[in-house]
Each structure stands twice: as C-alpha cells, then as structure tokens.
Amino acid sequence: MTKQFFGTDGVRGTVGSDPMTADFAMRLASAAAQVLVPAGGTVVIGKDTRLSGYMFESALEAGFVAAGADVLLIGPLPTPGIARLTQEFDADLGVVISASHNAYFDNGIKFFDRSGSKLTDEIERKIEEHLKNPAITLESKALGKAKRIDTARTRYQEFCADSIPKGTDLEGIKIVFDGANGAGYKVGPRTLGNLGADVIPIGCSPNGKNINDGCGSTEPDLLQLTVPALKADVGVALDGDGDRLVMVDESGQLIDGDQLLYILATARHRDGQLQGPVVGTVMSNLGLEIALKAQNIAFKRARVGDRYVLETLRETGGVIGGETSGHMIVLDKATTGDGLISALQVLAIMKKSGKKLSELVSGMSKYPQTMINVRTKSSLNTDSCSEIQVAVADAENELADTGRVVLRASGTEPVIRVMVEGEDFDQVVSIANRLATVVADAAG
C-alpha cells in the first residue's frame, strides 16, 4: 500500500498547508501513540529552531498526552540527539520537529523507535491507517503528563565527545563551525571547544527564520571563504537539524559526503577496524567506488535516503555509510546519521595522523557529475515510459563503462532528478541536458 503522508524522512511540507497544520500534528501524535506507545508509555519530543516549531511542539504534546503518553520536551537539539535520548530515557518513541535542510517556511515530523532507529515502512503504514480516525482523548485519570528536560544538551554533548578514542583531544586545531542557524548551534561549538579546539562559530544565531539561509551544509559558500581568510585548519558545516555534514579544507575546498566516507573508511581499513562493506547510494560518486576498490574495500549502493543506507549496513554487517549530501552513518557510534559525531571522527583522524584534510582525501578523485531537477505536475514513472528508457539506453551506450545515468523521483517534492557522471565533464553536461529535456516532455 502506498503511503499518503510519510516520505523518505517522515512527514514534511509547507507550514499551514496540508499536512503541516496543528490539527494534523495532533492527529499524527494520536495515531503514533496508538501504534507505538503502550499505556503509560513515554515520548521524547525535540525540534530545530524554526518559528513553527513552537506550534507543532504544542500540538504533538496535546495529541500524545490525550492518548495517555507521558511527554519529555527537549527543545532545540539535533535530530540524532533525540534518537540518542530516546534510548537514554528508555522512551517508547522519539519525535523530531524539523524539515532538515529546507527553508524555515517548511517543517516536518519524524519518528524514532525505542532503539533510536527510524520507523519501517510497515509501521508508517500502520500509523497512516489510524490517521483515518479522529484523535483520541482518554478520561482524565488515563491522561499523560509533560515536562521539560534541562539536561538534554549536556547529555548529548558528552555522548558525542565520547565517540572518539579515549584520551583524544582537538588541541591545536582551529575550526570554523557553521551551525546553519539550526539545531546544532549550541552543541556543536561547545562540544568542539570542550575537546580543546579553537572554535569560530558562524551560522549560530538562529532567529526562527534564518535556518539554512545562506549557511550550513547546503550553502557552505561563507564557510569556504571564512576558513582560509581566518587561517583555520578546517571548516565544519551541519544542516538545520544536524544530521548532515560537509567539511571545508584549509584552502576553502568543499569536502562532501562521498569524500568524507573515503576518509573514514580508509582510516578504519588501515587500523584493521573496518567491518563489512562501505555503503553509499545510487547517487554516490563513481570516484568513491573506484578509490575504495583500489584499497580493496568493498562498496555497496543503497537507495537514496539514510534509512536505506542504514538498512543495507545492517543487512551486510557494515558500520560506515552515507550519502553525497553528507548524511553520514557511523553505526558503531550512533544509531542514525549524526553530523557532529561524523565530524568528530574525521577530526580525530586529522589529529592522530597529523595530516591536513586535503591530504586525507587526496587518494580519491571525483568524477564529473551533474544533476538536473525536472519539476513535474504529477507523478511520473520513468521506468514505464518508453521514450525515457530509450534515451537512457542511448546515454549509457555513449558513456560505455566510463560513467553512469540515474533517474530518481524525489521523496519530498514533485521532481525527477536526472544525474549523469563520467570522465568527460562536457559530455556529462550534454547528456544530462538531453535526458532532462526528454523527461520534461514526458512529464507534460
């Protein structure tokens, strides 16, 4: 059964439009409680820094309490921090109010089960079945209660700091930290500073509307200028909810998720600590696969979405995976993608090796890659469209064994992503433009 509300990462949309309304949030809480929270159970609720977070926090609190669940209100904290606290407080459910890397006028609601993992498709479908009914309100004696947790931030900071080898510090490393004016704006600089780093924060002054606005992992231009200008060693950028990471080397060059995977995997491999294959996605750069193969490191591709990377890691016994966008999963350190923990792993490698970030990534050459987003008015199945399939086959024949073509429908908006990569940049761009035209014509 196709899901109506849940996408690749929870429920998401423009605030004030269906489904991102206060009424829907309350009904969603009620439905989730009936599926996942036993009588008298506990729910942890956190959020990022969006203005609408206050509204959704109140609506979710009302829905859960009315359904008999006790609620622990965490306030602004990175998404992976909520996953961790769900475990730490032995809660039945973790809830994050965030639209991740989107602008402030969007928001979303995503869930973690009691193990700190994202919900399965099956559980999300069960919740949607309950959404067909009105929210429930139990009698007074069965209602839940709510309280705020003041120690959440420091608990998460300590957890992140403990993810690097005991005795490791960041003394002597000058870091520009970009918090995207989002959920990591406090915990990021404080964790790095507590470990001895010289931290220069940018994008750490949220006002409810400036999240991901000209800052963070999706817009790292300012970070790329600031790092060399201040003669810093490295730049670290999270997205609005703190589960994505990109970094910047000493010269201002962007280091994306594929390159960070290479650094983490090769360091583990050298130390004899790499378990299972490295897991990327169908969108991961071909250069990553080739560079890992040269080191005799196995590589597998999952569907796009960190939940699918996680599933593949668990199926194959791997511990390191991620996406080009910077969703990094270090499974023996956290149950979900965590930008701050991933950054700490890279920084610890820099400190131990004495090498600059540019040196650590020098063994991987990225293949030219371009992606064009084709907006559609309605859903389009590219696999069943003969015109598109012929065009893809022609493109693959032209690239031969030196490149790839991927067409993928976005999980959060009506867009078909046309990705082409290969050895020759001009050829890649030409093929991508031709395919995008075919897809646009097919979409009407």
Place of tokens 């610890």: 348
Position 244 pLDDT exceeds 70: yes
In this prediction, residue 147 carries a pLDDT of 97
- The answer to whether 287 and 366 are in contact (CB under 8 A) is yes
Domain with 240, as residue range(s), is 156-360
**Lowest-pLDDT range of 15-29, 51-65, 409-423:** 409-423
Q: What is the mean pLDDT of residues 200-221?
A: 98
Cα separations (Å) of 76 from 3, 51, 377? Answer: 29, 11, 35
Q: For residue range 320-339, what is the model confidence (pLDDT) as tens digits?
A: 999 999 999 999 999 999 99
Position 376 pLDDT exceeds 90: no
Domain boundary among 117, 150, 183: 150
In this prediction, residue 377 carries a pLDDT of 75
| Residues designated catalytic | 100
pTM metric for this prediction? 0.92
1 lies in some domain: no
**N- to C-terminal Cα distance for the chain?**
27
Give residue 265's pLDDT band: very low, low, confident or very high (50, 70, 90).
very high
Give the Cα separation of 136 and 95 in Å (integer).
Answer: 19
Domain count, the chain: 3
6 lies in some domain: no
Domain boundary among 85, 117, 150: 150
- Find, among 295, 306, 305, 308, the residue nearest to 268 by Cα: 295
- Find, among 195, 186, 364, 174, the residue nearest to 264 by Cα: 364
Q: For residue range 99-148, what is the model confidence (pLDDT) as tens digits?
A: 999 999 999 999 999 999 999 999 999 999 999 999 999 999 999 999 99
Same structural domain, 354 and 215: yes
Domain boundary among 150, 178, 209: 150
Position 378 pLDDT exceeds 90: no
Q: For residue range 53-93, what is the model confidence (pLDDT) as tens digits?
A: 999 999 999 999 999 999 999 999 999 999 999 999 999 99
Q: What is the mean pLDDT of residues 243-272?
A: 97
2 lies in some domain: no
Same structural domain, 398 and 276: no
Give residue 1's pLDDT band: very low, low, confident or very high (50, 70, 90).
low
Position 412 pLDDT exceeds 70: no
In this prediction, residue 388 carries a pLDDT of 94
What is the average pLDDT value for the chain, to the nearest integer?
Answer: 95
Give the Cα separation of 80 and 159 in Å (integer).
Answer: 11
